[in-house]
Structure 1
């Protein structure tokens, strides 16, 4: 029999959006993705490209982070074969830097931007897709729906990225293989090159294309900074400096061949800014949702009205400490009161209506730009830290929310199922653990361990500076001599790599298997 207790994960309800993902606690994948999409602290993808920020440095003085992220994603997707169902957005790009089509430092720089975001449940491919979502809105473009669940590849894909010197028939065939028809090819290229002055062709990478001196080292696609249809309008009125349209090397005028391939019908349609944004949102969304046929993506992930966060249970001074925070979307003008209730695991310590505690702290947490564009100004965090009786323990919890505006208080209870704590036998102990830049010692408590317990952790590690994909490592816990047994628990410790992002702890105790997941954010914030 397997028993589990998941830390730091939960949600209850979502806005009424057609096709929106519904979370039932615990769900580590959806919960992590929600944090990364809507809370700035949890992912560099939500911060580094704000305001179409330039990469800077000696290598790319004019290219923006957003432009690099968008290029990275398409080059990753371009391995897709819609007939065989292989390839797509699967982070295989990390193994493809030696492909001639993927020349340039921006590919590796982008993956390094994302290096600490994946974990056991969220892939690098999922984070690359997030980068696209944020890149577009950070440069003033439309909101693109986000789905998760991508799976990282373990090897390179085929060399199928279209190249500027190829003829039109080759380009049409390449995009057709990826699942896009000729009209969609024209549109997707225009959308991809829409970042204009913030993106373009680097002379150092493509000396046969950028044959003239460029003061910044980059020949831009358009004259404006940001996501707009200037690349279209300047093409139509013949004022463009797009080197792939008017470059002196006629053989590499790939944008010209593509844009004009239907007598400019599609480009004329894209001259409308509203049409451009609408069509680009749809096609870029399809692009990042292009995955191998064996992968099933989630429904669209919208911000949750209510979400349990940073939940931990551990022995402390004669009782069990229980940490939990209820995250609520801020409603201007409301001053909510939140009460936590819980029931006992054994015995009758709690009354029929449950034991209860008030929040000891209420703070406000920022929303990402994506969240703000969806109408989420910020989140209110109602934090709890009740002491749980050791003998009776805890089996489930829920909340009562009072808006204090004359309306009837309501219950937040994991869609009617309550937040179930399945076990209290294997517990991560943040106070006995040590997390520092010098190393990480993780300590877990095993309840009533009369015999030796087998305790291990599967750690997810950040990748290297040359291959920034997450990897896995198994470590073994030993009885912790520095922390003697207390409160009915025996403590086990293990030294983890400084590169650990998250850890799944597993133990077999008297023939029963237990597990718990400890995200990096829990460990770091304990």
Structure 2
């Protein structure tokens, strides 16, 4: 089989990246909403913070563990049948001999709190891989979302060091990588980490005081592994280990007479190749799954919207997140009624009551976004006419015309006001949340339930779901046309979808994780 030259490979990689546009956020979109926060806001996901500065763990690094986890999850892919890939099946496979290592379960535990009803563990593992690379000084890798979690283990197809070259070539070809790409991907992946003696005593046979034989002499993501291999100074145990049978890196790297390894001697080339191949690795999904376009930081994002009855009106809270540019724009929120006439022709309006500047993630900063400005609004909406949709006007106060932010011309639609989560009546405890919802049904006979998504455990690191039932809450008598129902929500809940049927019409409301009243 013939393989393209490196130059041709890079041209193909560049063309492939240009073929993808940026994902467009049309509110509401719980998947993009969550992934945007986890990618570009620190502390919204452990994947955005834990691996920074190549943080150490287990005589290795968190980044190395995350990157290994991602590859082992992807390695179940079969390009011929279109099955397997990045699907979080590794959560059912980490006890296999080929997946040995405390870093596997530790990495899954790192990610436990990030998945919710719309974002699965596979998306978070992929996010961990790109943050692992940049956290150790490597290139930025485009991120797409929408992976679907498996519900059982995949085939045991992770290549193992004792296998011969033909087996490795066949394994990578099944995953969708040719021989040249196999060499490159192994070099990229083994830029970080090493082999722990406790996990592989038949590979690390010599005394290693640190407990691990690293692949390269440097800690960060770079091509030191390439140079040390080419100049004969490597201590990579998969190249020069005393157990000849497990010298898998040597067999792979030398399989084309070192042509590919020599081509990776340039740092720029190494980073370009690795960004493309690791990106392809995390985008390797079952053929039934379609990923989003690349998710870039959103210029304008509606966030934290809440609508609930309060004191004879409807309280409507909303935040417009804007990428900070150093200016101080004036932002006004407008809305229109659901029924009747209450607002003037141009719409009811209110200015911000608070502007907060918040940090961006390290990934966002690498994309030129150093922080965000949160413009918060607290509107009192007429109870009778209610609200049907809203939009914003941004005035940069520089003589230019105000800019309208209206959900890409579709407006931000409030599709119903019958079933509402009430943060002010709800209470937050150590155990979780005593959730109160209001239903516009004075009869008080509505059946209210919720599908609650629960985080996994260290024993079973996958999410689960449970259905809970709300009951009438006598401590909150009917008010403002709403009847109030209450249910305890577990502290392990990452999101909840509330359901109710009123007068034959079904309503639902997604409530993401909340950790404080009114957020």
| TM-score, normalised via structure 2 length | 0.95
Match of 2:41 in 1: 39
Kept in 2, the 8 Å contact 1:244–1:253? The answer is: yes
Deviation at 1:451, TM superposition (A): 4.8
CA distance in 2, matches of 1:525, 1:487: 19
Q: Is 1:495 aligned to 2:480, yes or no?
A: no
Q: Is 1:427 aligned to 2:424, yes or no?
A: no
CA distance in 2, matches of 1:124, 1:482: 39
Match of 2:14 in 1: none
CA distance in 2, matches of 1:509, 1:494: 19
Instruction: Give the match's secondary structure for 1:42.
Output: coil
CA distance in 2, matches of 1:366, 1:524: 22
Equivalences, count? 502
CA distance in 1, matches of 2:280, 2:367: 20
CA distance in 2, matches of 1:323, 1:98: 47
Kept in 2, the 8 Å contact 1:150–1:291? The answer is: yes
Pair 1:252–1:17, CA change in 2 (3 A):
closer
User: What are the Cα deviations for residues 121-157 of structure 1, in whole angstroms up to 9, with x where unaligned?
Assistant: 0000000000001100110000100000000001011
CA distance in 2, matches of 1:524, 1:112: 27
Q: Is 1:302 aligned to 2:275, yes or no?
A: no
User: What are the Cα deviations for residues 257-284 of structure 1, in whole angstroms up to 9, with x where unaligned?
Assistant: 0000000000000011000000000000
For residue 239 of structure 2, the aligned residue among 220, 245, 268 is 245
Instruction: Give the match's secondary structure for 1:133.
Output: helix
Deviation at 1:392, TM superposition (A): 1.1
For residue 452 of structure 2, the aligned residue among 453, 459, 463 is 459
CA distance in 2, matches of 1:97, 1:264: 33
For residue 158 of structure 2, the aligned residue among 150, 161, 171 is 161
CA distance in 1, matches of 2:265, 2:498: 55
User: What are the Cα deviations for residues 180-216 of structure 1, in whole angstroms up to 9, with x where unaligned?
Assistant: 1000000000000012xxx100000000000111121
Match of 2:87 in 1: 90
Matching of residues 339-358 of structure 1 within 5 Å: 339-358=332-351
Match of 1:271 in 2: 265
Pair 1:17–1:355, CA change in 2 (3 A):
farther
Match of 2:176 in 1: 179
RMSD over aligned Cα, in angstroms? 1.2
Q: Is 1:449 aligned to 2:442, yes or no?
A: yes
Moved more, 261-270 or 339-348: 339-348
Pair 1:522–1:358, CA change in 2 (3 A):
farther
Match of 1:6 in 2: none
Instruction: Give the match's secondary structure for 1:364.
Output: strand
User: What are the Cα deviations for residues 204-239 of structure 1, in whole angstroms up to 9, with x where unaligned?
Assistant: 000000011112100000001100000000000000
Kept in 1, the 8 Å contact 2:432–2:492? The answer is: no
Q: Is 1:290 aligned to 2:284, yes or no?
A: yes
Matching of residues 372-383 of structure 1 within 5 Å: 372-383=365-376
Q: Is 1:218 aligned to 2:215, yes or no?
A: no
Kept in 1, the 8 Å contact 2:423–2:517? The answer is: no
User: What are the Cα deviations for residues 429-455 of structure 1, in whole angstroms up to 9, with x where unaligned?
Assistant: 001111221232111000133251111
Deviation at 1:175, TM superposition (A): 0.5
Deviation at 1:496, TM superposition (A): 1.6
CA distance in 1, matches of 2:444, 2:267: 70
Kept in 2, the 8 Å contact 1:338–1:359? The answer is: yes
CA distance in 1, matches of 2:429, 2:325: 37
Q: Is 1:110 aligned to 2:110, yes or no?
A: no
Match of 1:12 in 2: none
Moved more, 254-263 or 386-395: 386-395
Deviation at 1:17, TM superposition (A): 9.9
| TM-score, normalised via structure 1 length | 0.94
CA distance in 2, matches of 1:189, 1:128: 19
User: What are the Cα deviations for residues 70-93 of structure 1, in whole angstroms up to 9, with x where unaligned?
Assistant: 000000111111111111010000
For residue 26 of structure 2, the aligned residue among 24, 34, 41 is 24
User: What are the Cα deviations for residues 357-388 of structure 1, in whole angstroms up to 9, with x where unaligned?
Assistant: 01000001111011000000100000000111
Deviation at 1:522, TM superposition (A): 6.9
